[in-house]
Amino acid sequence: MSTSKQTDAAYQKCINPDCGAEFDCGQSLFKCPACGELLDAVYNWDKIEVPDKLTDFAKRWATRNNRLDFSGVWRFRELLNFCEDKYKVTIGEGQTILQQNDGVAEYVDVKPGRLYLQYEGLNPSGSFKDNGMTAAFSHAMMVGAKSCACASTGNTSASMTLYAHNCGLKSTVFIGSGRIAFGKLSQAMDYGAQTIQILGDFDDCMRQVQDVCLQLGLYLLNSLNPFRLEGQKAIMYRIIEQLRWEVPDWIIVPGGNLGNSSAFGKAFYELKQLGLIEQVPRMAIINATGAKTLTDLVNNKKLLWNNGSVEQKIIDDYYADLTARNFSPHTCASAIEISRPVNLKKCLRTIALCNGIVRAVTDEEICDAKAIIGKYGLGCEPASAATIAGLKHLRAEGVIAADERIACVLTGHLLKDPNVTVNYHKEKQGQFSNPPIEAPNKLDEIIKLIK
Ligand code: F0G
């Protein structure tokens, strides 16, 4: 496998089939300048030396002293080949594990040995975002960006500022007032980012940051950026890698801005196109009931990808109703507290490709699932636990069988929303609450309390 490629192996393309405008990768765009739709990174595979079989990637384990071979994203670099190696930025992201977890499997009524948890909390900044940032910052270096920005509920800001600091870029974070996990914002403040707190929610921040980036020429690092999604494809490559290069039956992922589900579908589409896998897995995307735009649109309004001809009116009417009701989403899973997901259409494409399904779960179900995941070894944030809560629904409905092989993506670390965990236990909010017991400062009384 060669290690350096030209950017002419890739280009950007509008996902709207009526437009289909193409742009080279040297441009920094987050919307099609012709029609305003989302953009994809697309590859001329005949110009890239892609391995004949996935197992070839395993050879890179022997050369892990090479920084790109060490990265859990760039060791698959032929599959996201949009820039030359000299621009690639890595801080060792993607050293994450796929853990088979029978304790959690029992909770969701899945047979032993069939449930796997892909724990992205092990990334340097504590969430899956590092997969996307390593790719997007490589693109930012390629286009010579000097300053960058994002809207965030916490993880994007921590990851962006970590990479910005490493690349010498200035960074600005937009947060909604009262809507940020402060444990996460602390990372951004440490790295020297400028933080703008807007009187509004994440969706408001997302709208503002796009206009600010356009007007000031800042490099946008939300998942509208097509190169961020290229990096996030690697989460799927690593799941397959850890399953000895086999594809699971199901991928389950939380749905917020729908970047992951979009990226994962693209990863499988391309692997199939390249003949590297025979079958794509099914995908379940899980919303919180307090932020269930995707569930409403897909399950109730029957919104479809329809080969790219998405019925825009259904979306416009839905959003007009949200506006009329002055609706703002609310869930303890702050990372998916989003009502206008920017990657909606790409996610519809994934649903079409992967025979995908969508469900919404309550905060109570999320917190119980989170407690169980924690009990059996992995501390994750509420948004991540939505996957297990969703799986419990899908098992009860019989949509997923007990012996299917399932991989749930735990997107972020417990330490994003530690207050949720502490309150769940201390305030006895759920069936697995385990609060501290108060004791007088007397030995015999203390001894009586120890079970
Ligand atoms: N899980 C975690 C831990 C997240 O931080 C996010 C998004 C999601 C899931 C949703 O992912 O957009 O791919 O559907 N966090 C954003 C942030 C909002 O600002 O950190 P998606």
Q: Alpha helices of 274-417 — where are they, by DSSP H?
A: 293-295, 312-324, 344-353, 363-375, 382-397
For the chain, what is the radius of gyration of the CA atoms?
Answer: 21
Q: Give the global pTM.
A: 0.96
Question: Does residue 7 surpass a pLDDT of 60?
Answer: no
336 lines ligand 1 (CB under 6 A): yes
> Which of 125, 131, 153, 155 should be mutated for ligand 1, with most atoms under 8 A from CB?
155
**Percent of the chain with pLDDT strictly greater than 70:** 98
Distance (Å) from CA 88 to ligand 1 centroid: 23
pLDDT band at 116 (very low <50, low <70, confident <90, very high): very high
pLDDT band at 189 (very low <50, low <70, confident <90, very high): confident
Atom of ligand 1 nearest to the CA of 262: 13
Q: What is the pLDDT of residues 69-110, one digit of tens each?
A: 999 999 999 999 999 999 999 999 999 999 999 999 999 999
Q: How far is the CA of 153 from the centre of ligand 1 (A)?
A: 8
Strands 10-14 and 22-24: antiparallel
Cβ of 381 closer than 6 Å to ligand 1, yes or no, is yes
Ligand 1 centre distance from Cα of residue 9 (Å) = 30
Average pLDDT, the chain: 95
Query: Which pairs with CB-CB distance under 8 Å and at least 24 residues apart come from 295-303?
Result: 295/358, 295/359, 295/360, 297/344, 298/348, 298/351, 298/358, 299/358, 303/348
135 has a pLDDT exceeding 90: yes
At 267-288, the pLDDT tens digits run: 999 999 999 999 999 999 999 9
The lowest-confidence range among 171-185, 226-240, 369-383 is 171-185
Please spell the DSSP secondary structure of 260-316, one letter per residue: HHHHHHHHHHHHHHTTS-S-PPEEEEEEETTB-HHHIIIIIS----GGG---HHHHH
pLDDT at 5: 37
Spatial distance between the Cα atoms of 206 and 188, rounded to a whole number of angstroms: 17
Tokens 């703008």 locate to 196
DSSP-derived letter for residue 254 is E
> Atom 4, ligand 1: which residue's CA is nearest?
335
Residue-level pLDDT at 158: 93
Contact 12, 27 (CB under 8 A): yes
The CA 222 to ligand 1 mean position distance, Å, reads 10
pLDDT of residue 1: 40
Instruction: For residue range 386-422, list pLDDT tens digits in order.
Output: 999 999 999 999 999 999 999 999 999 988 778 888 8
In the block, which residue shows the tokens 């996201």? Answer: 80
Is the CB of 285 inside a 6 Å radius of any atom of ligand 1?
Answer: no
Which has more confidence, 180 or 118? 118
Ligand 1 atom nearest the C-alpha of 341 is 12
263 lines ligand 1 (CB under 6 A): no
- Tell me which of 257, 337, 351 to substitute to probe ligand 1's pocket, judged by most ligand atoms within 8 Å of the beta carbon: 257
Quick check: CB of 287 below 6 Å from ligand 1? no
Q: Tens of pLDDT along 297-351?
A: 999 999 999 999 999 999 999 999 999 999 999 999 999 999 999 999 999 999 9
